[in-house]
Amino acid sequence: MLGVCYYPEHWPESRWSVDAHRMRELGLTHVRIGEFAWSRLEPSRDRFTFDWLDRAIDVLHKAGLKIVLGTPTATPPKWLIDAHPDILPYDEQGHVRGFGSRRHYSFSSGTWWRESARIVEIVARRYGDHPGVVGWQTDNEYGCHSTTVSWGPEDRRAFRQWLRRRYQTPERLNEAWGAVFWSMEVNSFDEVELPNQAVTEVNPAARLDFQRFCSDQVAAYDRMQVDILRAHAPGRFITHNFMGFITDFDHFQVGANLDFASWDSYPIGFVERFPFTDAERALWAETSHPDIAPFHHDLYRGVGHGRFWVMEQQPGPVNWAPWNPVPKPGMVRLWTWEALAHGADVVSYFRWRQAPFAQEQMHAGLNLPGLDEWSVGGREAGQTADELAALGPLPDTCRSPVALVYDYATAWTTAIQPQGKDFCYEELVLRWYEAVRRLGLDIDVVPPGASLAGYALVLVPSLIHVTPAALTAFATATAPVLYGPRTGSRDDTFRIPDTLPPGPLAGLTGNRVTQVASLRPGLAVPVEGTVSGTAIRWREHLTTTGTVLARFADGDPAFTATNGHHCLAAWPDEALLSAVMHHMAGVAGLPVVDLPAHVRLRRRGDLTFAFNYGTEDWLVPTQGTLLLGSNLLKPQEVSIWR
């Protein structure tokens, strides 16, 4: 199903019914509203003006649209900030981050917590049982603009409290952090400082705890909103719209509050955010890289307990990347189908109509700026709606053959202590994901500790701290498992394991890592054996009791296996990565299709989808029944067969 994000407060009331009518005409079924409207709902303290929203909801509902209502907490109004400046967040250098845009609050402000509960309850009580409101979105894009973390007095107070709960005594804190180092010991929790503005680097265990605290604060804040909504909006779903490439908090943790996950998919802007080469950025500038949106679909399907929406789908050029090209014709439709293929229940475009004013005036909508006239994206949305209607209901999404274990704590740990400047966890994960999807395989993204039963192959690009639950899951997996570099290299308190890395995995893997090297650009180590290629960026020196499948040029083991538990002791270049993934698919008994760089496949139930992101045709290798498209998959085209 398709939807759209709409801002009735941006347009004269006289246009609402025309808009609602045209939404239905285009084939949309859902509409999200309200998430930035606080100043119009409560223009000053306790003066409420909900009447316009009542009428807007009625107009949309009467037109047959299902409404998702956002709590307005992402944009506290000026009168509230002026009355309570302690709501504001602080940057790492100690400056207040002020009013003037959005997300100007700290998750640790006590005042903010009370004010949020107040407005959420008022909104929830008013619309909780409205028949048109089918679901709720909490806040908007947690973590956007680096707002998970704040460095003010309220944050310090809350962090000390969090530490007191975690460690009970300063002695245990000192022990956990190894605070004897550099005389960092404290005599009381009130002596603890936030890990910023020190002369040089701060204790990594302290930094990790601060990151965990920040993540916990987001989850608890979300939980507070969810609890209020559940109390006053019975039977309605609750979701949150996550973002791409944000790792500042544990999305699985927030996801646990929700009925399902949503995310905001801007495939093109992300090409400039992810550390692609310049050549890749130019190559994918007008289509996006074929794995960026899919990876997030698979991630949020995992975060959402098997269900997800795209709450905001890019409908054309946007405004916020360093460069903002026009997507190639067909891409808005392709992205929509790609989301549906990965299991999206609803794909909701952002936004209905381009606004001629304010910060996002260069962000395309389904309609041209200020007008009742379809944009290119609007026309493609309509085409997709028609095709979707013709196809009938989509089958359920099944378990994928491959599980990829994704761990936010590893993202935090490697950012705190990269050891090599270009060791970027998100990059490693996406490269592994890309290599597997180039083999035509589907992937589920799962958190560490999740059951691995039923998978044919398990991939662990890196997992710095292996929890007991994760260890059990690996130990009981029947599929072959591949562990990447740095796995098991730290315990729960950021310590190197007494037995050296891979710590608790020593038994399963037979390995012991004695040295690691980060390799600057220009350094590389050849790898030869069952697989071959080159180690770049990172290599480990290890001994093994298992089988050595490939060795570094100096003879040290590079790729090992012990009873299906494989270890890759390097950051692989493209050739080595591809060879390793071919090898693992072979071990797993998974048949593969070698796809060109610009084509991807994906199954949903008994349907197979093919997508062409490139400039050359691709011949669909199927004997099945074509339901959409043709056997010759043209650029920017989609084919579906059963």
Selection from a copy of itself, Zn ion, none that 187 binds (CB < 5 to 8 A by kind) is: a copy of itself
3 state SS of 459: strand
Nearest to 158 by CA among 83, 215, 223, 107: 107
Nearest to 441 by CA among 550, 612, 584, 552: 584
**Comparison of 75 and 253: residue with beta carbon closer to a copy of itself:** 75
Which residues face 633 on adjacent strands? Answer: 618
* 568: phi then psi, degrees, rounded to nearest 5: -110, 110
Q: Which of 128, 317, 447, 629 binds a copy of itself (CB under 8 A)?
A: 317
- Do residues 501 and 541 lie in contact, with contact meaning Cβ atoms separated by under 8 Å? no
Q: DSSP secondary-structure letter at 247?
A: -
Residue 403: CB minimum distance to Zn ion, A: 17
Q: Is residue 125 marked as binding?
A: no
Q: Which of 286, 573, 574, 617 binds a copy of itself (CB under 8 A)?
A: 286
Which of the residues 42, 115, 154, 312 is marked catalytic?
A: 312
Distance CA 141, CA 82 (A): 24
The DSSP H or E segment spanning 405 is: strand 402-405
Which range in 15-23, 159-167, 314-322, 603-611 contacts a copy of itself by CB under 8 A? 314-322
Residue 278 makes contact with a copy of itself by CB under 8 A: yes
Selection from a copy of itself, Zn ion, none that 51 binds (CB < 5 to 8 A by kind) is: none
Which of the residues 115, 141, 387, 637 is marked catalytic?
A: 141
Q: What x/- string results for residues 150 through 169 when contact with a copy of itself is judged by CB under 8 A?
A: --------------------
Residue 569: CB minimum distance to Zn ion, A: 10
Selection from Zn ion, a copy of itself, none that 556 binds (CB < 5 to 8 A by kind) is: Zn ion
Residue 158 makes contact with Zn ion by CB under 5 A: no
The tokens for 25 are 């005409």
Residue 586: CB minimum distance to Zn ion, A: 8
Residue 171 makes contact with a copy of itself by CB under 8 A: no
Q: Which of 3, 204, 267, 572 binds a copy of itself (CB under 8 A)?
A: 204
Residue 27 makes contact with a copy of itself by CB under 8 A: no
Residue 583: CB minimum distance to Zn ion, A: 6
Selection from Zn ion, a copy of itself, none that 545 binds (CB < 5 to 8 A by kind) is: none
* 141 noted as active-site residue: yes
Distance CA 90, CA 114 (A): 19
Q: DSSP secondary-structure letter at 284?
A: T
Distance CA 84, CA 609 (A): 52
Straight-line distance from the first to the last Cα atom of the chain, in angstroms, rounded to the nearest whole number: 20
Angle between helices 110-127 and 204-232 (to 10 degrees): 30
Number of neighbours of residue 99 by Cβ within 10 angstroms: 17
Q: Is residue 320 marked as binding?
A: yes
Residue 410: CB minimum distance to a copy of itself, A: 16
**Comparison of 14 and 200: residue with beta carbon closer to a copy of itself:** 200
Which amino acid, residue 327? P
Which amino acid, residue 584? M
Q: Which of 75, 108, 247, 413 binds a copy of itself (CB under 8 A)?
A: 75
Distance CA 71, CA 380 (A): 30
Q: Which of 17, 168, 169, 419 binds a copy of itself (CB under 8 A)?
A: 419
Q: Which of 12, 14, 200, 619 binds a copy of itself (CB under 8 A)?
A: 200
Question: Within 570-599, which residues bind Zn ion (CB under 5 A)?
Answer: 587
Q: Which of 198, 453, 575, 626 binds a copy of itself (CB under 8 A)?
A: 198
DSSP string, 476-498: H--S-EEE-TTTT---TTSPPPT
Residue with tokens 């998919």: 265
Distance CA 391, CA 199 (A): 62
Angle between helices 204-232 and 153-167 (to 10 degrees): 100
Question: Within 537-596, which residues bind a copy of itself (CB under 8 A)?
Answer: 541
Question: Within 98-117, which residues bind a copy of itself (CB under 8 A)?
Answer: 98-104
Which amino acid, residue 314? Q
Distance CA 103, CA 116 (A): 12
**Angle 366-370-375 (CA atoms, 0-180°, nearest 5)?**
30
Residue 194: CB minimum distance to a copy of itself, A: 8
Residue 237: CB minimum distance to a copy of itself, A: 25
Question: Within 554-573, which residues bind Zn ion (CB under 5 A)?
Answer: 556, 561
Question: Within 468-527, which residues bind a copy of itself (CB under 8 A)?
Answer: 493-498, 500, 514-523
Residue 362 makes contact with a copy of itself by CB under 8 A: yes
Q: Let me know if 230 is exposed, middle or buried by CB neighbors in 10 A (0-12, 13-18, 19+).
A: middle
Q: Which of 46, 51, 82, 594 binds a copy of itself (CB under 8 A)?
A: 82
How many residues lie near a copy of itself (CB under 8 A)?
A: 110
* 272 noted as active-site residue: no
Residue 145: CB minimum distance to a copy of itself, A: 4
Q: Distance between alpha carbon 481 and the CA centroid of its chain, in Å?
A: 23
Residue 420 CA: distances (Å) to CA of 57, 333, 414, 537: 53, 40, 9, 7
**Comparison of 103 and 438: residue with beta carbon closer to a copy of itself:** 103
**Comparison of 149 and 640: residue with beta carbon closer to Zn ion:** 149
Question: Within 529-548, which residues bind Zn ion (CB under 5 A)?
Answer: 541
Q: Let me know if 526 is exposed, middle or buried by CB neighbors in 10 A (0-12, 13-18, 19+).
A: middle
Residue 380: CB minimum distance to a copy of itself, A: 13
Q: Is residue 203 marked as binding?
A: no
> Half-sphere exposure of residue 140, counting CA atoms within 13 Å on the CB side?
23
Q: Which of 14, 51, 93, 625 binds a copy of itself (CB under 8 A)?
A: 93
> Half-sphere exposure of residue 432, counting CA atoms within 13 Å on the CB side?
30
Which range in 20-28, 49-57, 271-279, 287-295 contacts a copy of itself by CB under 8 A? 271-279
In sequence order, which ranges of 304-424 are alpha helices (DSSP H)? 331-341, 376-391, 408-416
Residue 232: CB minimum distance to Zn ion, A: 43
Question: Within 32-71, which residues bind a copy of itself (CB under 8 A)?
Answer: 36-40, 43-44
The contacts of residue 412 (CB under 8 Å, 6+ apart) are: 208, 211, 212, 247
Q: Which residues carry a binding-site annotation? A: 102, 140, 320
Q: Which residues carry a binding-site annotation for substrate? A: 102, 140, 320
Residues near Zn ion (CB under 5 A) are 541, 556, 561, 587
Which amino acids are annotated catalytic?
141, 312
